[in-house]
Amino acid sequence: MNTNYRQQQGVGLVELMISITLSLFITAIVLSLLFSTKESYIVHDDASDIQSNARFSFLFLSKAIRHAGYKASPRDSLEGAFPDKLPFKQGQFILTEPAQNNESDKITVRLQGRRDGALEDCSGNKIPHPDTISGNEKTFYISFWVDKTEKNLLCEDINRNVHILANNIEDMHLSFGFVENNQSRYMLSKDLVNANVDTLANIKFVSVGLVMISDKKNVLSKDTNFNLFGKTIQHSDGYSRRIFTETIYIPNQVNG
């Protein structure tokens, strides 16, 4: 009986090494694709959260700032509607405090309520019309600032209660615009603190810059280097950041 030993030979060492190498190469490609897909998802998820928080924050900020200096009566002047009451001067409807310690720039707006109750503060309280208020104080205040330690946007409502409006906000910078001789000029919060009443009453725009940050580190995040209202912001801690700005017009001569 003739036996064909060549047909009974197993896989050679060379063939085995080639098979293992190919398997490892294919596995590496698959793992690389999975890792890349996961990181891309994280980046997209971070960007989506950051953008959503910024949009929500500006919803409250723009509404309050736009109504700064709102007078309930068309007959009242700014000086008549907004009397001298610390920390506000007579006729002043915007107060700003520059960044200090663990807090960002702070803005406080002063306004009166509408007769139809359409104006609300950041917690949903309706701002009363002056005719419905007994006593001399007929104006209300709403404040916004960022707690840079906890990274929250905070708001103080008309009842002096502080609320967290949005998370993952690292800082807020303010710039105030004026129109003089048909030209616009801006002042930073730190430069506006000692401005006179006439200057404060002529504020026409407020530019708000928010530094948004992801809630977790991202291995794909590179060093960040931003310029916001002339200030350079640099970080290399692995968190994703984006800058959002919005300029809000103040029609402070509007009457209701």
Please write the tens of the pLDDT for every residue from 88-109: 888 888 888 988 877 899 999 9
C-alpha closest to that of 195 among 103, 88, 116, 101: 88
The pLDDT of residue 215 is above 70: yes
The pLDDT of residue 256 is above 50: no
**Mean pLDDT of the residues in the chain:** 82
Q: What pTM does this model have?
A: 0.78
The pLDDT of residue 223 is above 60: yes
The pLDDT of residue 255 is above 50: no
Range in 80-89, 131-140, 221-230 with the lowest mean pLDDT = 221-230
pLDDT of the residue at 232? 84
Taking the CA atoms of 7, 13, 15 and 16 in sequence, report the sign of the dihedral they define: positive
Return phi, psi of residue 241, to 5°: -135, 150
C-alpha closest to that of 229 among 197, 193, 187, 192: 187
Q: What percent of the chain has a predicted confidence (pLDDT) above 70? A: 82
Using the 8-state DSSP alphabet, how is residue 131 labeled? G
- Beta strands of 65-202 (E only): which ranges? 94-97, 106-111, 140-147, 152-156, 162-167, 169-180, 183-188
Q: How far is CA 238 from CA 90, 168, 256, in A?
A: 47, 15, 50
